[in-house]
Structure 1
Amino acid sequence: MTTVPALADLNFVVIPLLSTSHLIPLTDMAKLLAQQGVTVTLVTTPLNAARFTAAIDRAIRSGLVIRVVELQFRAKEAGLPEGCENHNDVPGLKYRRQFFAAIDMLQEQAEKLFEEMKPKPSCIISDAYVAWTAETADKFQIPRIVFDGMSCFTQMCMHSLYIMRDQNKIPESGPFVIPDLPDRIEVTKAQLPPHFNPARAIFIQDIREKIRTAQNRAYGVVINTFEELEQRYVDKFQKLKNGRVWCIGPLSLCNNDDLDKAQRGNKSTFDKEDSLTKWLDSWQPESVVFACFGSLGRMTVVQFVELALGLEASGYPFILVIKAGEGQTPIEGWISENGFEERTKERGLLIRDWTPQVLILSHPAIGGFLTHCGWNSTVEGISAGVPMITWPLFAEQFLNERFLVHVLNIAAGVGSQAIVHLGEEEKFEVQVTNKAVTDAIEKVMDKEKEGNEMRKRARELGEMAKRAVEGDGSSYLNVTLLIKEIQDFQLNQSAKNANAQACDVLV
């Protein structure tokens, strides 16, 4: 007779894509699963492990069973510079194919570890972009649950768009409505992700199709969202995936104290007496605009000038996060030559380091979030109850903007019209003027009229998000249901193996 596996005997193997915006939510997910009493093995590489070591070590000291396994990243063998282990560090997108080749080289090492793991792997929770995990799951006869960092809304948009693409029905120009959705969502081809609107310079469509094929083979899907946020789209996606969709977010809310928020995703110099917190404390509630464009977003200097001048002209205090490193010299030159930082120092704060975004968003002084609409940032803004100013740049970000502006009604757009593919930023000049930036900020920050309605709705969604992850909330329940699904799978697998052995004996 087989028995249900104990929680401590379950081993959830979490395999993120080695990219900052993918590592962060899956590291949160590892903590969330471990809080339920299961063993979690987080598979990464040494330089990526260093980004979250402090936070994970603290979780382990609290009693959570999380093991970090480091694989050798064969950068040089794949044609990448030595030490280049994260997508954010790849020197130009001409190396993207080499980066994914190095990701594929991790498979053999990982499978050797799987053979030796105790407890044995119960399932794989894999980033959708790590396609080889589909083969590994088959080899070890365990479920593979995929995570690709999108909402159910965007999943359903993408599903309809794939059908349109296969039928050659996506118009080359002009707006069109994405079919078979609960809401009227209008876009243009120029605003679509590269799956439907590929970059001219970097063409890796074969890798995308390989990833999509592996994703479609998955046992189920985990989503960084909560059901109450997008119930109609959750229902449609559940139906599409035979019920195996678990909405377990917002994942960022598993970070309860300021130190966890500050060190989420990378090392930070933050402490409770830090100048950033003091600066925020000096402003009235809901008076500051926080402008941040994610870990990958890049702007040309001419477009940055419009952003900076728009923030300045709005009259509101602001925090502006500026990329550090290669390619930023022209922007830093403009800031210095035009005295922008000096001119705005009384109400503007420029940050050039890793930014504790969740910590900033949770501060009472933040009244608006100017964002690129990456889903991590989107759901973090929703969780904080902050209305948003939307400026999508690339990937599926225009779809996320439609969700914020036209479905949730908690945002105003700056009027960006087309995807700026990663690596092609210099081909674009100014898409968004400083006036458009100022107008959108004023619309959201206005305490009366439309801005007040956005703010009220954003607060309501923020409270809903917090309730979802509490003990009786929908996301908390979905975590327990996911674990039970894996318990049941193991129980059924054990029963099958026992029957097979019994048959062998009879023969």
Structure 2
Amino acid sequence: MGNSADEVSKLHFFLFPFMAHGHMIPTLDMAKVFATKGAKSTILTTPLNSILLEKPIKSFNHENPQLENITIKILNFPCAELGLPQGCENTDFIFSSHELSTGDLSQKFFLALTYFKEQLEHLIETMKPDCLVANMFVPWATKVAEKFNVPRLVFHGTGYFSLCASHCMRLHKPYKQVASSSEPFVITGLPGDVVITDEQVIEKDEESVMGKFMKSVRESERDSFGVLVNSFYELEPAYSDFFKSFVAKRAWSIGPLSLTNRRFEEKAERGKKASIDEHECLKWLDSKTCDSVIYLSFGTMTSFNNEQLIEIAAGLEMSGHDFVWVVNKTASQEDKEEWLPEGFEERTKGKGLIIRGWAPQVLILDHQATGGFLTHCGWNSLLEGVASGLPMVTWPVGAEQFYNEKLVTQVLKTGVSVGVKKMMRVVGDFISRDKVERVVREVMVGEEMRKRAKELAEMAKVAVKEGGSSDLELDRLMDELKLVRLQREEENKS
């Protein structure tokens, strides 16, 4: 492992992810990236969430004996005491729960996270990490890190474009200048004349409980050491520059983090256990011609009603394209017909593969038969699609996904919108089968979009290679943190 001087130079990161699959997966990828740079990483999470991480961490440590081991520290989270249902340690629980309205439960969940404060203080005090990478949703982490003189980095789990768009919305409030909530307007101050409507914006409700919470998130970011962004410079250069000039005092692009997973097992083991055998899935794709299959997935938190699912199914069938469709319904055999058109699975046998539950997404996106991606525009999915070189159909449902859609359709021009007009509160816009058919056909034959998407994928791969833009940013970050540690040691001596 090298000499003692080498030991001294090893940085130790504490990683504190938000308890949701979409945040934990890139956090694990981040720990792997830090390990390749010779740093130690300790991921802090709760008992149920640690189950998600144990197997991939064990595999990574076993496969890379020359690197520092990634470890987990378990945090106690007594749901019942915190007024949450038993087992509510992950947003998955909230979105599959019928105990409270989802809004009430998620609000309670966010506010309950302060329970970790004392445990975090104790761990920092005893283990003395060199840096705390804490998710944006734990704003109090900045003060905790400050108390022990440890730099705190913020991880949002989204890209520069949406962070900049959000900043411009709050600053200029352009939505106040329009006559109706469906009237398009340009986002004032944001490079690129990006057009959006009032119904697609999340920043307006600044006085609500969540609005005030987000204000504390921004304040804690302002006081932090800087921001880590899962993106790469070549994807959104104007927005990376804008963010670093006007929004955050410091930021480092370290993505696409999904590209740290090069081996089959690593791609297969990201997230939960897949609801389909990976080899079966790949065998099915192997039987298809290059770029002929469209992959549809709406992330872990979206579930459509039966009427909408029927339209998606019908539109897919009408398009004539082969498809892999991930559906968040753990439907039993008896009721499966309620959300599929009569005889659909028989008619599309061999042409379509429906995965109920969790899919090995990166494996599917990377397969040569996959030629398009219909996505809800969650940032992880979007970036995985970019890294796989796929043109996209965008179907945003909430959070910052409408901003991500605009990046794909208006800036990168690598996708087409399905035409969703507004946020999905409970039931979103109803999208007809004709629309589904039209956009699937458009994205599967759009040569210009595909060419551009493939160029971006090449840039993504170069960015994370040695000497690439993200690799160099990571080196800069490591150097800065080592310098901070050195200064701290000097101060302690004096």
TM-score normalised by the chain length of structure 1: 0.90
Q: 1:330 to 1:113 in 2, by over 3 A?
A: farther
Q: 1:204 to 1:156 in 2, by over 3 A?
A: closer
Q: What SS does the aligned partner of 1:204 have?
A: helix
Match of residue 438 from structure 1? 437
Q: What SS does the aligned partner of 1:145 have?
A: strand
Quick one: distance in 2 between partners of 1:191 and 1:331? 33
Q: What SS does the aligned partner of 1:75 have?
A: coil
Q: What SS does the aligned partner of 2:81 have?
A: helix
Identity of aligned residues (%): 38
Q: CA deviation at 1:207?
A: 2.3
Which AA in structure 1 matches 2:377? C
Q: 1:478 to 1:170 in 2, by over 3 A?
A: farther
Residue of 432, 440, 450 corresponding to 1:455: 450
Q: 1:171 to 1:7 in 2, by over 3 A?
A: farther
Q: Deviations over 1:291-340 (max 9, x none)?
A: 000011121222222211111111000011011349x9998342467222
Match of residue 478 from structure 2? 483
Q: 1:336 to 1:229 in 2, by over 3 A?
A: closer
Match of residue 278 from structure 1? 283
Quick one: distance in 1 between partners of 2:345 and 2:245? 52
Which AA in structure 1 matches 2:80? K
Show structure 1 runs of 4+ deviating over 6 A.
269-272, 328-331
Q: What SS does the aligned partner of 1:181 have?
A: coil
Which AA in structure 2 matches 1:94? D
Question: Is residue 181 of structure 2 the alignment partner of residue 212 of structure 1?
Answer: no
Quick one: distance in 2 between partners of 1:320 and 1:363? 15
Kindly indicate whether the alpha-carbon contact (under 8 Å) linking 1:44 and 1:71 is maintained by their aligned counterparts in 2.
yes
Q: 1:496 to 1:5 in 2, by over 3 A?
A: farther
Kindly indicate whether the alpha-carbon contact (under 8 Å) linking 2:293 and 2:370 is maintained by their aligned counterparts in 1.
yes
- The aligned runs of 1:356-367 (5 Å cut-off) are 356-367=360-371
Question: Is residue 118 of structure 2 the alignment partner of residue 113 of structure 1?
Answer: no
Question: Is residue 190 of structure 2 the alignment partner of residue 181 of structure 1?
Answer: yes
Q: What SS does the aligned partner of 1:385 have?
A: coil
Match of residue 328 from structure 2? 323
Which AA in structure 1 matches 2:160? C
Q: 1:170 to 1:80 in 2, by over 3 A?
A: farther
Question: Is residue 371 of structure 2 the alignment partner of residue 376 of structure 1?
Answer: no
Which of 376-385 and 430-439 deviates more? 430-439
Quick one: distance in 2 between partners of 1:278 and 1:137? 49
Match of residue 15 from structure 1? 16
Match of residue 503 from structure 1? none
Which AA in structure 2 matches 1:359? L
Q: 1:471 to 1:337 in 2, by over 3 A?
A: closer
Which AA in structure 2 matches 1:309? A
Match of residue 36 from structure 2? 35
- The aligned runs of 1:126-165 (5 Å cut-off) are 126-165=134-173
Q: CA deviation at 1:169?
A: 5.3
Which AA in structure 2 matches 1:52? L
Question: Is residue 241 of structure 2 the alignment partner of residue 231 of structure 1?
Answer: no
Residue of 258, 268, 271 corresponding to 1:262: 268
Q: 1:167 to 1:350 in 2, by over 3 A?
A: closer
Quick one: distance in 2 between partners of 1:391 and 1:227? 25
Q: CA deviation at 1:374?
A: 0.7
Match of residue 102 from structure 1? 112
Quick one: distance in 1 between partners of 2:176 and 2:335? 41
Quick one: distance in 1 between partners of 2:330 and 2:200? 28
Q: 1:198 to 1:188 in 2, by over 3 A?
A: farther
Q: What SS does the aligned partner of 2:353 have?
A: strand
Match of residue 490 from structure 2? 495
Q: Deviations over 1:329-387 (max 9, x none)?
A: 99834246722222212201000131111111000000000000111111100000011
Quick one: distance in 2 between partners of 1:80 and 1:334? 32
Cα root mean square deviation, aligned: 2.4
Q: CA deviation at 1:490?
A: 1.1
Quick one: distance in 1 between partners of 2:41 and 2:382? 27
Q: What SS does the aligned partner of 2:77 have?
A: coil
Kindly indicate whether the alpha-carbon contact (under 8 Å) linking 1:301 and 1:330 is maintained by their aligned counterparts in 2.
no
Quick one: distance in 2 between partners of 1:393 and 1:242? 27
Q: What SS does the aligned partner of 2:146 have?
A: helix
Q: Deviations over 1:46-94 (max 9, x none)?
A: 1111112111111222233211101111211111111111011122332
Match of residue 92 from structure 2? 88
- Structure 1: which 5+ runs fail to align? 500-507
Which of 316-325 and 403-412 deviates more? 316-325
Kindly indicate whether the alpha-carbon contact (under 8 Å) linking 1:5 and 1:490 is maintained by their aligned counterparts in 2.
no
Q: Deviations over 1:253-300 (max 9, x none)?
A: 00011110011112237766x210110000000000000000111212
Q: 1:336 to 1:456 in 2, by over 3 A?
A: closer
Kindly indicate whether the alpha-carbon contact (under 8 Å) linking 1:311 and 1:438 is maintained by their aligned counterparts in 2.
yes
Match of residue 504 from structure 1? none
Question: Is residue 305 of structure 2 the alignment partner of residue 310 of structure 1?
Answer: no
Quick one: distance in 2 between partners of 1:164 and 1:330? 52
Quick one: distance in 2 between partners of 1:15 and 1:113? 12
Q: What SS does the aligned partner of 1:78 have?
A: coil
Q: CA deviation at 1:206?
A: 2.7
Q: Deviations over 1:156-200 (max 9, x none)?
A: 11110011249955765211110122201011110112x32689x
Which of 296-305 and 144-153 deviates more? 296-305
Q: What SS does the aligned partner of 2:316 have?
A: helix
Match of residue 502 from structure 1? none
Kindly indicate whether the alpha-carbon contact (under 8 Å) linking 2:253 and 2:470 is maintained by their aligned counterparts in 1.
yes
Q: Deviations over 1:449-478 (max 9, x none)?
A: xx0010111111001100110011111111
TM-score normalised by the chain length of structure 2: 0.92
Q: CA deviation at 1:38?
A: 0.9
- The aligned runs of 1:338-417 (5 Å cut-off) are 338-417=342-421
